[in-house]
Amino acid sequence: MTRDSFCLLLALNTSGFPLGFIFFAPKNTTSVIRDLSLLGYIFQQQSTQQEAAMDINDVSDIDRYIHVLDAQKKTLKAAEARTGQRPIDRKTRSQLIHRHQLAAIQAKMQQFKSEHHVHSTFLPPPYPPSTAALETLTPIFIRDLRLGTHHRGKYILVRSATGPDRITAIMNIVEDEQEDAIMMQLYQQPEEIIRPASSIVATGDIFLIKEPFFKVMGDGEYGLRIDHVSDILRIDTRHRLCPHKWCPRLYDLDKTADDWKQEGNVAMGMKKYWEAIESYTTALSTDPSVAEERIIRLNRALAYLQDENFEAALADTQCLGPNPNTSEKAIYRGAKALYGLGRFSECCDLLQILRETYPGNAQATKDLARARARLSEQQNGTYDFKAIYEEVSKLRPPRLDHATFIGQIVVKPSPGRGRGLFTTKAVKAGDLLLCEKAFAHCYVGDSEEDFSGGSKTKLLINTHTNRMTIGSQSDLITLIVQKLQRNPSLLTEFMTLHHGSYKHSGVTEADGKPVVDSFLVERIVALNGFGSPLTTKESHLGIRGTKKTFGSCGVWPLASRINHCCTSNVHRSFIGDLQIVRATRDLPADTELTFWYKNPTGDHDEMQKGLEHWGFQCTCAICLESKNTSKKVSKKRNGLLGDLKATLDVTNIDTSKAERILNAIGQTYKHPACDVPRLALREPYAHLSLLYSKQGNAEKAVAMALKALESLGFVIKGAQLPVSPTQAFRVERLGIMTGEVVGLWVHLWNAYSARAPHLLSRVADCARLAYKICVGEDVTFKESYDEEGDMA
């Protein structure tokens, strides 16, 4: 093979146009590109990945799921016809218990089968949580409940008559003091792996349900459905509302604070932190001495830390109050709580005090170094990305120990689109604008990534919005509800995220407890959530398949403020639960940041339909060009695109004819590609470049590759072959930055290695910049593309 010889790899998209082309430089050339075969994946992936509708696997338009939605809506409609009725065919207590026990046995047997299971979560029409004070409510009994009714102004006391069963909700049979029984469904409870259902609902537990919702369930039976975690309270036998017949444990009244503290300590030893919290809380209610109270609070602070209830933990340490507790445990646990809350500066201060006051505490020095590393990330955006990749390779779920960096950006009103992110000063292409730790993130492992044949598929069905998604969205809703319930100070800011037309009362507290609206959380997740790969680098290199959407998902509040535009000026990427946002071109101060919610096609009507979910229209240059193009011209353009596809979709391609058609298509545009990118042309030009490369026509191959970049809005001078002796190579304008741009630059680098070696360093810089923007960092560019470092 000579220096000018090349092997080629072709990747085709579903339309038949190739998405990539690879030059394989022979091993004896001055530079060797490592793993070039991966580039075929890059072109194939980057036209789909990270460019879908926030990358969530929306299946609302797929027939088999539409049938599921239709069936559920029919069930709801039938149930609505019975609204207000008091059922007369309720099963007896013994019948319900027997039926529940059989169902639990069947569910356990299913666990041992290797079948594929679909776990569906149906969201009912939204209803607000109870915000009424308990003292204003009056009791109601099971026999008085009416179907389809939220019994406002009422509460019901029930006792668990069975252990729980968990599918998508925790279900068990409960009875009232009149010994009538009913099914109870608890939603938005922690996953089994985090907290067993048996610790949430145990036989004999007593619950108070505020303003209960009574309904016909999916199987036609009746039940109490609790969607808001603040609507249900577990009470003990000492509660003033507990019926006397349910209070046999009189010996509990004789327990001392120390007895309850010891029970808490035992629960801590068993890692049952929720039980420990309850025991310590009860201990504090039994009038302990001042010294005992301080010890119990510190013990409870530790339990709260383990439960990620950081606000309560910090309060219990009493290390930041007017008369701070300066004991070693108080300071240390207070610092841990501050770290969990992301208050790294205060955490560093407290750890410094701990190190000075208790010099024998070796852990304080280690934790201070860790907190300072987070503070540096938070203040300066200094991240060790290679170390982060090492971290993410070992963690499942990939919850990384890193801080959020907010660059030169600010949240401001965006005319017609709510609020957005804007630059506060001029920034350069590739600059890090945001590296945000997820507010909440749910990971779907490899075994669940293949939705057609994995062990479990989770389907979230919103009967109110007619939207269905596959992945971890239902888990994400629960995770956020639980986080807000544990750390209520986060509620106010979280509620400001876009939630469409959903009406929220604004009430966040009742009876001294936080009130979390689960349906508000669902709306925020639907409108602000991102699907995410384990790492964008892996997706870019084709390491984990070629899906365009992801089962893993999360909410990154600041990144979610970025509005959509087809000609986006920033690009998002992911490493674990970190989202990285970089500028794709130089931006002046006070520029609104934008990226794609939906992969732009150049079709105005199609794009606006895809954006209906967010309630605004895109008015970018591409969409306006499409909107203002006459039907006659659109018809001509589409006809020519069809002819082009037919011309390229044959064995012996007439390249001259293909070029003529491309030129004719170009004539249908009023504006140059640098002003209005021509997205429909980038793949055909890439196809022609591949063909000319195969023919050994390097000049034409480079020309078509440059045309592909030009179709994305790039303006590049001095790059044609043969190289002009009077025109220097320069990139006058960067275009739309997609992952395939990296491959195009690498392709050009290979071509220039033989014909224009003096351009290699400049082109390598362009490839590295594109990689940095699209992958989120450039420290792995060398290992991804250049074995000997010649492109680095």
CB–CB of 581/594 below 8 Å?
no
Confidence of residue 114 (pLDDT cuts 50, 70, 90): low
pLDDT at position 659: 96
From CA 55, how far away is CA 599, in angstroms rounded? 10
- Topology of domain 405-598, per CATH? Beta-clip-like (2.170.270)
From CA 200, how far away is CA 198, in angstroms rounded? 5
| Arithmetic mean of pLDDT, 356-366 | 95
In the chain, DSSP finds a helix count (H) and a strand count (E) of 26, 31
Q: Look up residue 358 and give its amino acid.
A: Y
Distances (CA, A) of 749 to 308, 585, 647, 758, 762: 50, 21, 29, 11, 9
Comparing CA positions, the residue from 586, 581, 613 lying closest to residue 597 is 613
pLDDT at position 446: 60
Among 37-46, 290-299, 545-554, 560-569, where is mean pLDDT lowest? 37-46
pLDDT digits (tens, 9 = 90+) for 507-558: 999 999 999 999 999 999 999 999 999 999 999 988 755 455 678 999 999 9
Helical segments of 307-439, H only:
310-317, 328-340, 344-357, 362-380, 385-394
Confidence of residue 383 (pLDDT cuts 50, 70, 90): very high
| Arithmetic mean of pLDDT, 550-577 | 94
CB–CB of 377/402 below 8 Å?
yes
pLDDT at position 113: 61
pLDDT at position 425: 98
Q: 171: which 2 tokens? A: 């279900």
pLDDT at position 236: 86
What are the extents of the domains in the chain? Answer: 10-47+671-785, 90-245, 255-394, 405-598
pLDDT at position 754: 84
Confidence of residue 273 (pLDDT cuts 50, 70, 90): very high
Mean pLDDT of the chain: 87
* Sequence-ordered list of residues with C-beta below 8 angstroms from that of 741, at least 6 positions apart, any chain: 709, 712, 735, 770, 774
pLDDT digits (tens, 9 = 90+) for 701-715: 999 999 999 999 999
pLDDT at position 39: 37
From CA 284, how far away is CA 274, in angstroms rounded? 16
CA angle 534–535–537, rounded 5-degree value: 150
From CA 103, how far away is CA 121, in angstroms rounded? 18
pLDDT digits (tens, 9 = 90+) for 56-101: 888 888 988 898 889 888 888 888 899 999 999 999 999 999 999 9
pLDDT at position 608: 75
Question: Does the predicted model carry a pTM greater than 0.85?
Answer: yes
Q: Is the pLDDT of residue 2 over 60?
A: no
CA angle 629–634–640, rounded 5-degree value: 140
Q: Is the pLDDT of residue 583 over 90?
A: yes
Superfamily of domain 255-394: Tetratricopeptide repeat domain (1.25.40.10)
Q: Is the pLDDT of residue 1 over 50?
A: no
Q: 714: which 2 tokens? A: 């790039």
| Arithmetic mean of pLDDT, 592-612 | 79
More confident residue, 407 or 69: 407
Please provide the distance, in angstroms rounded to a whole number, between the alpha carbons at the two ends of the chain.
26
CB–CB of 435/404 below 8 Å?
yes
Confidence of residue 743 (pLDDT cuts 50, 70, 90): confident
pLDDT at position 371: 98
pLDDT at position 41: 33
From CA 689, how far away is CA 485, in angstroms rounded? 57
Beta bridge partners of 123: 462
Q: 340: which 2 tokens? A: 């969990």
| Arithmetic mean of pLDDT, 388-407 | 97
pLDDT at position 378: 98
Q: Is the pLDDT of residue 29 over 70?
A: no
Share of the chain above pLDDT 90, in %: 68
Q: Is the pLDDT of residue 117 over 90?
A: no
pLDDT at position 601: 72
Beta bridge partners of 553: 442, 531
| Arithmetic mean of pLDDT, 373-399 | 97
CB–CB of 533/49 below 8 Å?
yes
From CA 185, how far away is CA 475, in angstroms rounded? 17
pLDDT at position 527: 92
Q: Is the pLDDT of residue 38 over 70?
A: no
Beta bridge partners of 160: 174
Per the rule left: phi > 0, alpha: psi between -120 and 50, beta: everything else, 379 is alpha
pLDDT at position 614: 79
More confident residue, 731 or 690: 731
Q: Which residues of 312-332 are buried (b: 16+ CB within 10 A; e: fewer)?
A: bbbbbbbbeeeeebebebbbb
pLDDT at position 248: 66
Q: Is the pLDDT of residue 370 over 50?
A: yes
CB–CB of 534/456 below 8 Å?
no
Q: Is the pLDDT of residue 171 over 70?
A: yes
Q: 229: which 2 tokens? A: 């975690």
CATH 2.40.50.140 fits 90-245, yes or no: yes
| Arithmetic mean of pLDDT, 442-461 | 64
CB–CB of 742/543 below 8 Å?
no
pLDDT at position 481: 97
From CA 743, how far away is CA 734, in angstroms rounded? 15
Rg over CA atoms, the chain: 30
Same fold across 90-245 and 255-394? no
CB–CB of 49/548 below 8 Å?
yes
| Arithmetic mean of pLDDT, 16-42 | 34
CB–CB of 580/435 below 8 Å?
yes
Confidence of residue 634 (pLDDT cuts 50, 70, 90): very high
| Arithmetic mean of pLDDT, 16-43 | 34
